[in-house]
Each structure stands twice: as C-alpha cells, then as structure tokens.
Amino acid sequence: MVEQLFGSKTRVKLLNLFYSNPNRSFYVREITRKIDEQINSVRRELSNLLSIGIIVSDTTNNRLYYEVNQKFEYFDPLTEIFGNGKKNVAMAKAAAAGEPMEGDVTAIGNIDIAVYTGQFTRDDSPGVDVFLVGDINQARLAKFMTDLEAKEGKELRYTQMTLNDFQYRKQINDRFVANIIEAKKQVLVDKHNLL
C-alpha cells in the first residue's frame, strides 16, 4: 500500500533506509546493496528525492554520498512514517517476550548510550565508529561487533565504558568524550539524555 501511495517500491525502500539512519551517509553502490534494487532505478529515485529536497548530497574522496535532509519541512512526519516505526514495534514485542532481536544493541547488556559515528557518518573526529556506555556483556559485544562488521563489510572501531566513567570524563571535559558529543552521530540509545 505504501508503494502505491509513494509511487515506487524503490522510493519507499530508499525512504526507509534514509529515515532509519538519519545521520548516516550512503554512496550509490552501498545503497543498491542495502535495499537490493537495480542501480538505475536507485539513481533515478535518488535524483527525484534530491530535487524535492528530501535528501542532500555531498562529495568526499571522489564519492558522491547521500543522506536525509533533516531541515526538510516534512522531516518529522516522514520520520514518523519511515523512521524505525515497524522496527520499534518489533523491538518492543521482542523485549516484552524477553528475547532480543538480532542486531539490537540493547541485547548486549544494560546500555545507557549507544552511538554510531566515524565511518557511519563520515566524521572521523571521535576516532571510533561505535561508542557504547553501560554494563556490557563482553561475549555478546564481541558477537554484536562481528555481526555488524559482516553486515557493513568493513572493520569497525569501537569503544565502551561504564556510565560512571562516561559521567566523570564528561565532567572533567575529557577530549575523547567531548569529541563524541560534538561529532556527527547517529544516536541509537541515550537513556539519560546525556548527549
């Protein structure tokens, strides 16, 4: 039904991808792999979304990257439709049943903060790609990172710390934590609004 409303299955997949990852940039071949569509239809729909202003583009290292335009006047309503709505419902059901979903960062422990940055957002100032704060099970963390690296097709850098360590380092204005806070990031979890 959503495909009929928005005119194209590829466009709906693109909107789902961009609005589920609001601070993340993608290049064309990466997009075609993630949504499993033909490159020509992806390019056509990217052009349409770019002309409307739903997405923006930027060139880095001779690659053209696309990301959602968070200043677009209908950003919030489109996020309601395409942002993790179904995923959040599924996660809530899984959590109620006591079973973590595959790829769910909250399955690795009691997570207070989970952030994607670095390679995910093309902002290397923090020096890491995944930043986690909380009481974390090391075996689950290792599996989560292995799965995430396999999904992304590249090696990722990550850092973890306890909530007390994070709060102390934030209080003393630690450079690493300050860089995380200032960096372009995709916040997955921020229980206490510390970012």
Whether residue 159 has pLDDT greater than 50: yes
For 162, the domain range is 97-190
What is the pLDDT confidence band of residue 5, given thresholds at 50, 70 and 90? Answer: low
Least confident of 36-50, 62-76, 93-107, 173-187: 93-107
Alpha carbons 176 and 156: distance in angstroms, whole number: 17
Q: Answer with the one of 50, 82, 114 that is the final residue of a domain.
A: 82
DSSP string, 66-117: EEE-TTSTTHHHHHHHHSSHHHHHHHHHHHHTT-PPTT-GGGGEEEEEEEE-
Query: Does residue 88 fall inside a structural domain?
Result: no
**pLDDT tens per residue, range 41-66:** 999 999 999 999 999 998 887 889 99
In whole angstroms, what is the distance from residue 160 CA to residue 98 CA? 24
- Does residue 91 sit within a domain? no
User: At 127, is the secondary structure helix, strand, or coil?
Assistant: coil
Provide the pLDDT confidence category of residue 80 given band limits of 50, 70 and 90. Answer: confident
For 16, what's the count of Cα atoms within 13 Å in the CB-facing half-sphere? 15
Q: Helix, strand, coil shares of the chain as percentages rounded to 5?
A: 50, 20, 30
Q: Total structural domains in the chain?
A: 2
The answer to whether residue 92 sits within a structural domain is: no
Question: Does residue 62 fall inside a structural domain?
Answer: yes
Q: Are 109 and 174 members of one domain?
A: yes
Whole-number Å distance between alpha carbons of 147 and 129: 14
In this structure, the answer to whether residues 178 and 139 fall within a common structural domain is yes
